[in-house]
Amino acid sequence: MPLTQEAVRAWLQRCAAVLEENRDYLTQLDAAIGDADHGVNMDRGFKAAMARLTTLNAPDIGSIFKTVGMALVATVGGAGGPLYGTFFLQLGVKTAGKQELTPQDWAEALEAAVNGVIARGQARPGDKTMVDALLPALEAFKVALQDGASFVEALARSAAAAEEGMKATIPMVAKKGRASYLGERSAGHQDPGATSSYLILQAAAETWADVS
Ligand code: ADP
Ligand code: MG
């Protein structure tokens, strides 16, 4: 069964729960190389998004993602707000008019979302940002589908690649965002945005563990 509106809502609910659980952790990561607000920002943004979704009578999956994207842009602030806002707005553009998502639909939507983040923030791989988790996750998902993996397996491999990408940010020197102000001193710390991106994609793999 492809992803339904209900499955998409379940993922977003899980994201909100996981970001709440990890609020202090993400904020601590941001305290080391930024301004100690990433966890608070993401928790506030997803709570606002969930509040808007409660009253949304969505005609399609695209409108669910657009609602989340607009809520994040409006409430998160900083660098993370526009970047995650773009991520979800782009998911919304690609899934407009759809009542369900096949693995191929998810590959295309994720690709648009990740490309949107890159276009907006101009970060390259290795710059120590969320892109270092998102891009490997996208690649792993596409390669898994090409290899004939199931939707569930592809989602699991995508989340594993995001985790690896997140960990790989530790030795990197930040080239974008607030952490870049620290120069070499940003090395030795895991990037907060790469961490929230991993949590979001891991939530997808967990929530959608029974799709096909
Ligand atoms: P701010 O840095 O404004 O306080 P947040 O703390 O919410 O915003 O988010 C910080 C995260 O945003 C970083 O850890 C990094 O992953 C991500 N980030 C910052 N600038 C960029 C960029 N130009 N492109 C992609 N991601 C970025
Ligand atoms: Mg910050």
**Does the model's pTM come out above 0.95?**
yes
**Ligand 1 touching residue 123 (CB < 6 A):** yes
Ligand 1, atom 13, lies closest to the CA of 193
* Domain residue limits, the chain: 3-207
* pLDDT tens profile 80-107: 999 999 999 999 999 999 999 999 999 9
CATH 1.10.260.40 fits 3-207, yes or no: no
* pLDDT tens profile 143-196: 999 999 999 999 999 999 999 999 999 999 999 999 999 999 999 999 999 999
Residue 149 neighbours by CB under 8 Å, 6+ apart:
157
**Ligand 1 touching residue 79 (CB < 6 A):** yes
Residue carrying the six token digits 């891009």: 135
**Ligand 1 touching residue 34 (CB < 6 A):** yes
Q: How many residues does the chain have?
A: 212
- Helix, strand, coil fractions of the chain, as percent rounded to 5: 70, 0, 25
CB 125 within 8 A of CB 132: yes
Paired with 100 in beta bridges are 4
**Ligand 1 touching residue 78 (CB < 6 A):** yes
**Ligand 1 touching residue 37 (CB < 6 A):** yes
Ligand 1, atom 6, lies closest to the CA of 38
* pLDDT tens profile 23-60: 999 999 999 999 999 999 999 999 999 999 999 999 99
Q: Please report the pLDDT score of residue 61 as a whole number.
A: 98
**Ligand 1 touching residue 41 (CB < 6 A):** yes
CB 162 within 8 A of CB 133: yes
In angstroms, what is the span from residue 63 Cα to ligand 1's centroid? 25
Structure tokens at 84: 């995650």
In angstroms, what is the span from residue 109 Cα to ligand 2's centroid? 27
In angstroms, what is the span from residue 137 Cα to ligand 1's centroid? 18
Counting from 1 in the atom list of ligand 1, the atom nearest the Cα of 29 is 14
CB 8 within 8 A of CB 189: no
Residue 153 neighbours by CB under 8 Å, 6+ apart:
144
Residue 176 neighbours by CB under 8 Å, 6+ apart:
121, 122, 123, 127, 128, 129
**Ligand 1 touching residue 181 (CB < 6 A):** no
Ligand 1, atom 22, lies closest to the CA of 121
Ligand 1, atom 3, lies closest to the CA of 78
